[in-house]
Each structure stands twice: as structure tokens, then as C-alpha cells.
Structure 1
Amino acid sequence: MEELSNIWSMKKVNFIKNLPSRKELLRFIRYGCVGSVTFIFDLIMLFIFTQLFDLPPVYSAGLSFIIAVSINYFISRIFVFKGTTRPLKQGYLRFMLIALGGVIIVTLGMHIMVITLKWQYIISRILIAAITGICNYSLNLYVNFRVAGKHF
């Protein structure tokens, strides 16, 4: 019984050690705020491209995503990933390469949800945003801006 208690204590300590620090949590919250604002912009553009310019939702989603991600880069560089030493152009290129994976997820997901499953395009795009947001944050944190574990 004592062994079981020791194992439980060790797991509890390991769990606490793995919790994000206050600064890491604040960085993620800032990323979420920036992402939310640019995602709303993304949805507005998706609606405009689809309804006013009569583009298919799959193409509209890809185009609006690329524009929103470009805006997101410049805002994130200032407010989220402060302290990066990567030059602006190099960081933007890497950000867009990561976003390319996001475009693939967005357009493929939109194709499946809108064309195949006949779901409404705005709702589909919102669902897909959760996946791309987490993937893009992680890749930018560790690969592009390389500020994981650094707090500014």
C-alpha cells in the first residue's frame, strides 16, 4: 500500500512539474487573442470571397487563410513571440512554410466537410481552426521563433 502511495506522490509531482509557467501561459493567451482577432478577419474574408465574389468555399478558405496568417505573423512577432532573434524576412518565410501545412489542412478539411459531407462552410471552417491553431502555435513556438522556455 505504501508503494502505491509513493507512486501516486511521484506522479503528482511530475504532473505539477509539467504545468506551464505563468509566462508560458500568458504567451499562449496572447497567441489565442491574436489568433482570435485574425481568425475573425479570416471568417469575414471567407464570407466576402464566397458570397460577394462567388468563389467556391474551398478556394475562399485557402485564400482568406493565407491573408489572415500574414497579418497574424506581424502581430504575433510583436506581441506573442517577443525576443526572437530570427530576422523578419526569414521568420516570415518560415511562418508561411508552417502556414502552408495549415492551408493543406484547411482546404482538405473544407473539401471533406463542405463538398463531401455537405456541412455549412462557416461552421466547417471554425471546426478546422481548432486543429490548425494548435499545430501552428506549436510549430512557431519551437521551430520558427525558437522562444520555447524563454520569457520576455
Structure 2
Amino acid sequence: MQYWLMKTEPDECSIDDFAATPDQVIRWDGVRNYQARNFMRDMAIGDEVFIYHSSCAKIGIAGIVRVTRTAYSDPTQFNPESAYFDKRSKPDNPRWDAVDLKFMRKFARILTLDELKNVAELADSPLIQKGNRLSVIPFSKVERDSVLVKV
């Protein structure tokens, strides 16, 4: 099993959206960064993913979801009405992928970025390094475990 962190703006897709439909999957689409896309291509069914709320009042890790479907062509890239439309992407050669995720657990409280900065095991994590804009980040088991003891 691998571990990941995915950043989202809660008004677009939050841990509450997952919790509201715990038996359904949510397609994680709209990723338009090649490195983040490549990380999504490394995901396997059953991998755990921290949901990280960003661009909001309370920034931090809000809960955990699980990968239920590995990377597949993101349909939003072909929809001209979508904010994620990519006119350069072609159905026979798609550029962007999506994965399906399912609710596992909502934390009783958000584990804030300030708290995460004080977790020694995360010292080298791109999550807490300035300038990191990736929406998908791999986590080691040690990093994952160090986060879970804080919630």
C-alpha cells in the first residue's frame, strides 16, 4: 500500500463531500500539472489518501479517503463547458487523468499546516516546503503514521 496527500479547496470538494456519500465514489479530476498527474498514475486500488483543505480559513489535513479506481482519462479535459477543458488534449491521446476515491474517515479536527510544520518526520516533505504547489504528494508510511498520531 502507498500513501498520498491530495490538496483541494473545500468549496470544490471537501472531506465533508466524501462523508455525505460514504458508500459512493467521487471522481478526482481537474488535475492539470504533469508531476501531480504522474503521481496519480502511480496510485493503486486501496491506497490511502489524506484530504488536505487549502485556500480556505482552516488549512490542513481533514481526513482520509481510499483509491477505488486507478488512473483513467479525465473526461473534463474534453468538455468545452468545463473549467478543466484542454483543447490540446485528444480522446485518442489524452493528457490528463482522474482517479476514483471513497470516504474512509473524517478527522475530529483539521490538522493544521502550522501543526504539520512541527512534525519532525515531515521536515523534508514537499507539503511544508515553501513554494510547493503540487496538488498530489506521495507520503511514506513513516510520514503517514506521524500524521495519524496527531489526530
TM-score range, shorter chain: under 0.3
Larger Rg over CA atoms = 1
- Give 1 or 2: higher helix fraction: 1
- Give 1 or 2: higher strand fraction: 2
- Relative contact order (alpha carbons < 8 A, sep ≥ 6): 1 or 2 greater? 2
